[in-house]
Structure 1
Amino acid sequence: MISGDVGERAVARATWRLVPLMAVCYFFAYLDRTNLSVAALTMNKELGLSATAYGVRVRRRGCCSSATCCWTPRAT
């Protein structure tokens, strides 16, 4: 285990590098979800999808996108 001042500096440095990256990833994942929600207003009628079918497809896409894949725990 790292002790004392060295450990605190390492954690601070990692925090300053990782938190902005995680915030950017979260922003793009949120943007992607809202974009799909707005598109669903007309897309469901045109493709003949029910609300359930749309939900299943969005969930599959969310699990496979790059940002969500890194941060979402997988079900076993």
Structure 2
Amino acid sequence: LEKVRTRAGRDALHKEKQRVDSTHLLLQNLLYEADHLNKEVTKCLQFKSKDEEIELIPIEDFYKDAPADVSRPV
């Protein structure tokens, strides 16, 4: 009878360890994914596009030099 209880206890312990290991692995994967996404967001925020360097002319100059159909809003 004691052997059966011991065996059942070991089996239950083994199942519980597997469940904990599986949950821990899932947690590690999620932490890795979150870290990766944070790095990607940082890269995107640090990205400097060429259009940020374009100097715009004053709107009055645009209206003065542009064709009438473009420069005269309806």
TM-score, L = length of structure 1: 0.45
Between 1 and 2, higher relative CO (CA 8 Å, sep ≥ 6) is seen in 1
Larger radius of gyration: 2
Q: TM-score, normalised by structure 2?
A: 0.46
